[in-house]
Amino acid sequence: MLTPHPLVLKQLLARWEAVANATATTPQALREREDTAYTLCVATGTRDVESALAAARKHLAAAPELAGATADRPGAPAVRRSPAA
């Protein structure tokens, strides 16, 4: 099973916080919120944003060595493979 890289989840969570707390109600702002929610759901394999947020936080908590990763780290993969069972 593929799991999202913690850096990707961290960026998605930050993006969600920004768009969820935005007061703009323009079509572009609403589209950005919908796109971010959809991307979070796809990345976490969930169907609603609340479940996606919980799953993303759970994945990040399970990868503490990568929780401090930043966007400055070039070459970080967007997705990593889980060990085969």
Tell me if 24 is assigned to some domain. yes
Q: Which run of H or of E encompasses 27? A: helix 27-44
Tell me if 74 is assigned to some domain. no
Beta strand spans in 15-74 (E): none
Distance, in Å, from the CA atom of 39 to the CA atom of 65, rounded to the nearest integer, reads 24
Give the pLDDT confidence score for residue 23 in this predicted structure: 87
Give the pLDDT confidence score for residue 27 in this predicted structure: 93
Tell me if 13 is assigned to some domain. yes
Give the pLDDT confidence score for residue 36 in this predicted structure: 96
Give the pLDDT confidence score for residue 68 in this predicted structure: 53
Give the pLDDT confidence score for residue 40 in this predicted structure: 96
Domain count, the chain: 1
Query: In which domain, by residue range, is 19 found?
Result: 2-67
Tell me if 63 is assigned to some domain. yes
Question: pTM score, two decimals?
Answer: 0.72
Contact of 32 with 19, CB cutoff 8 Å: yes
pLDDT along the chain (85 residues), means of 10: 86 95 90 96 95 95 66 49 53
Give the pLDDT confidence score for residue 42 in this predicted structure: 95
Tell me if 11 is assigned to some domain. yes
